[in-house]
Every structure is written in structure tokens, then in C-alpha cells.
Amino acid sequence: MAKKVKEIIVNKEWCKGCGICVHFCPKKVLKLDKSNKAAVTDLDSCIGCKLCELRCPDFAIEVKFLDNEQS
Amino acid sequence: MPVKDYIRKRFFPHIWCPGCGHGIVLGGMLGAIEELGLKKKDVVMVSGIGCSSRIVGYVDFHTLHTLHGRALAFATGVKFSRPELNVIVPMGDGDATAIGGNHFIHACRRNINMTAIVMNNRIYGMTGGQFSPLSGPGIYATTAPYSSIDYDFDIVELARGSGATFVARTTVYHVNEVKDYIKKAIQHKGFSVVEILSQCPTYFGRKNKLKDVNEMLEYFKNNTTPVGSQAKKDNPNLIERGIFVQIQKEEYCDKYLNVIEAASKEVKG
Ligand SMILES: Cc1ncc(C[n+]2csc(CCOP(=O)(O)OP(=O)(O)O)c2C)c(N)n1
Ligand code: SF4
Ligand code: SF4
Ligand code: SF4
């Protein structure tokens, strides 16, 4: 069964607003906010593929799952 | 151990520009090390000089930040004295194939058990965007205002021809392959080379009129294909990704141990 996404955490101190996570999210879950940092718009659509986290050059975004401490 | 436990958090946010591909390589490399379950004390990372080479400052392993182009020479010394350690050498394309080209081919030839990672952004990032032996014809750079006329190396062919026993290539867009190939390269006994096409939006991107970092990643997505695919036959301009060489050949430290044994016997008589 697919793991359920609990939350997506953006470390605004580390995010440099490159937009890679926004552009390549297959479900358009993310956007850049007014301060040019990644932000979540629609958590329900997230399929937990973790591509945002894996492609972030700055270790600034993390997808957390329910029932599972694995990050 | 979670990937973030392998980094030196006190140095973050890191120095690389927004969207620089080097950070994605770092993430993939740490993912590989995590999956292999390597302990921090069993990994040595050795780099030269360049934006790419700064990677060693961010990882919590034994690290050496050495001289431009000479990382493999230092790494050879480390491996020779402590063959049980995993030695990983991340290099820029300039570092590995311009000033360090000679060290590169000879490390391949010796088949010493370590992993070279070429973070290929096709330009000298750190020094302001000069062209490198990986830029290729038609590429604009600070030192090629009318575009470069030099042909580029093919790292895979260079490494294969020089004797490397594991050679793979992928891009930072294909981040799961980055992890997978680095993992296999570390496991391989012999000299392994993983070329990772990476992006320098600040110099390569700007000089070559690429709109933004996403356009650079789209390029990796649309202009590469798995090795041996039908797509490559239909369009020879595509760059192949995959594992190109994976062979077993006697390793250098082992051969050297034999020499030490033979010599000690002779001394003892
Ligand atoms: C002996 C020596 N020559 C030249 C330099 C200047 N230098 C520093 S980094 C660099 C090239 C960096 O390009 P690359 O290796 O491709 O790495 P990148 O910065 O693109 O990641 C050069 C020429 C130096 N530091 N030492
Ligand atoms: S995990 Fe996948 S679907 Fe969810 S935000 Fe990240 S890239 Fe989008
Ligand atoms: S990829 Fe990382 S650094 Fe870039 S915008 Fe997203 S969270 Fe920020
Ligand atoms: S100059 Fe280029 S290679 Fe260097 S950190 Fe910036 S984007 Fe990366």
C-alpha cells in the first residue's frame, strides 16, 4: 500500500528559491511564496514520490510519511 | 542513518548558487552511502579545487581538500596506506580532465580500488566561466566569446580506454540513477568512474542563454536515453546514460601487497 504523506517541511533558512521542486513536481503540489521560498499549496494531491526532496540541491525540503519515522 | 546525519549542518546553507547541480550530486552520493550502511569512519572523501570540490567540506567523513587536479594523487596515497577504507573522489570537469587529466588516466590504468565522481557542468564555475575540455564546440564561455571551437572529451570513452573497470554516466535530473550508480561504483572492486552531468546556471546557463535552471534540467531529461535504447538508434545525438563498463581485473593495492610479501620473504631469506 502506498505510504500516506503526513507533511512536507521546507527549511526556509536553506531554501534558495531555485524552483526545481516546483517545476518538476508531477502533481503541482508546490509553489514559490512571496519571499521566493518553496511552499506547499495542495498537500492532498501529493503522491509521496519524494522527487522534490531528492532533487533539491539545498537539502531544504523533506517529505514525511504517516506511521513511519523514515524521512 | 538518515542522509542528513552525514552532513556538517553547521556549514549550511551551503555556498553553491541557487539551482547549482552540485548539491543534487551531494544528495545522491549520500543516499548511496546510506543504503550501503557505511560508517562515517570508513569513508574518506578527497577533492581538489573548484565549486564541485567544495563538496568535501559538507560531509562528515574523513575529508581532504587538496590541490586543483591532484585529488586522485592524494587519494592514491590514502588508499595505499589504508586499503580497507572507502575512498571517494568527487571532481569537477576541469579538475578531472584539464589540469588533472593525467592523474585521471593513470588512476584508471592502475585500477586502484576507489570511486571517481566527475561532476560535469561543462565549464569552470569557480573561476568565472572559462570553457573546459568538456564544453564542446559551439558553447559560449568567458574565454570563448565567439563560442568554443574545441571538441570535447567523452569521459566514458576516456575512462574505458584508460583501463577503468567500472564506468557509468547519468545526470542530476535522474537522481535515482545517481544514487544507484554511485552505490554500484563504491561496491565495485577496482577503479570506478561515474560521470554526472550537472548544471551551472550562473555561468554555463547565462552564457548559453538558457532561461533558468529548470531549462537545464529539462535538457538532461530530453537529450539523454538509456544505453542501447531504440531512441539512440533513431537519434544519434542523444547522450547515453547507464553502466558502460563493469569488469573484474586484479586490483592495484592487492598487487602491491604481493610485491611487499615477495620482498619481505627475500629479506628474511
Ligand atoms: C594549480 C591551479 N591552477 C588553477 C587554479 C584556478 N582554478 C580554481 S578552480 C578551477 C576550475 C574549476 O572548474 P571545475 O573543475 O570544472 O569545477 P567547477 O568549479 O565547475 O565545479 C581553476 C582553473 C587553481 N586553483 N590551482
Ligand atoms: S513528494 Fe512528489 S508529489 Fe509530493 S510534493 Fe514532492 S514531488 Fe510533488
Ligand atoms: S528545490 Fe530546494 S532550494 Fe530549490 S526551491 Fe525547492 S526547496 Fe527551495
Ligand atoms: S558558479 Fe556554477 S558551479 Fe559554481 S556554485 Fe555557482 S552554479 Fe555551481
Which chain A residues are within 8 Å of B16, Cβ to Cβ?
57
Q: Band of the pLDDT at B2, cuts 50, 70, 90?
A: confident
Task: Identify the bridge partners of residue B59 per DSSP, sorted by sequence position.
Answer: B7
Q: How far is the CA of A39 from the centre of ligand 4 (A)?
A: 24
Q: Name, in order, each residue with C-beta under 8 angstroms of B40's C-beta and a sequence gap of 6 or more.
A: B6, B60, B61
Distance CA B213, CA B217 (A): 6
Q: What is the number of structural domains in chain B?
A: 1
Which ligand is closest in space to the CA of residue A58?
3
Beta carbons within 10 angstroms of residue B212's beta carbon: 16
Nearest-Cα residue of chain B relative to residue A25? B214
Which fold would CATH assign to domain A5-65?
Alpha-Beta Plaits (3.30.70)
Which chain A residues are within 8 Å of B20, Cβ to Cβ?
57
Across the interface, whether the CB atoms of A71 and B4 are under 8 A apart is answered: yes
- DSSP E strands: which ranges in chain A? 5-10, 30-32, 38-40, 61-65
Report yes or no on B26 lying in a domain. yes
Q: Band of the pLDDT at B1, cuts 50, 70, 90?
A: confident
Whether the model pTM is above 0.95:
yes
Please state the rounded mean pLDDT for residues B255-260: 94
What pLDDT does residue A24 have?
98
Residue whose CA is closest, atom 3 of ligand 2? A46
Report yes or no on B231 lying in a domain. yes
- Which among B198, B196, B191 has a CA at the least distance from the CA of B104? B191
pLDDT, one tens digit per residue, over B164-216 is 999 999 999 999 999 999 999 999 999 999 999 999 999 999 999 999 999 99
Q: Which residue range(s) make up the domain with B92?
A: 17-268
Q: How far is the CA of B124 from the centre of ligand 1 (A)?
A: 6
CATH number at residue B56: 3.40.50.970
Distance CA A20, CA A18 (A): 6
Report yes or no on B5 lying in a domain. no
Q: Is the pLDDT reported for residue A70 higher than 60?
A: no
What pLDDT does residue B36 have?
98
Copy the grid coordinates of residue B119: 561532476
Q: Write down the ipTM of this complex.
A: 0.94
A14: distance to nearest CA of chain B, Å? Answer: 5
Where do the H-state alpha helices sit in chain B?
Answer: 22-36, 71-81, 93-97, 101-110, 155-162, 175-187, 206-207, 213-222, 230-234, 252-268
Across the interface, whether the CB atoms of A16 and B19 are under 8 A apart is answered: yes
Nearest-Cα residue of chain B relative to residue A16? B18
- DSSP E strands: which ranges in B113-165? 114-120
Chain centroid to Cα B72, Å, comes to: 11
Q: Name, in order, each residue with C-beta under 8 angstroms of B250's C-beta and a sequence gap of 6 or more.
A: B111
Cβ atoms of B185 and B169 within 8 Å: the answer is no
Ligand 2 first shell, C-beta below 6 A: A 8, 25-27, 29-30, 46-52, 63
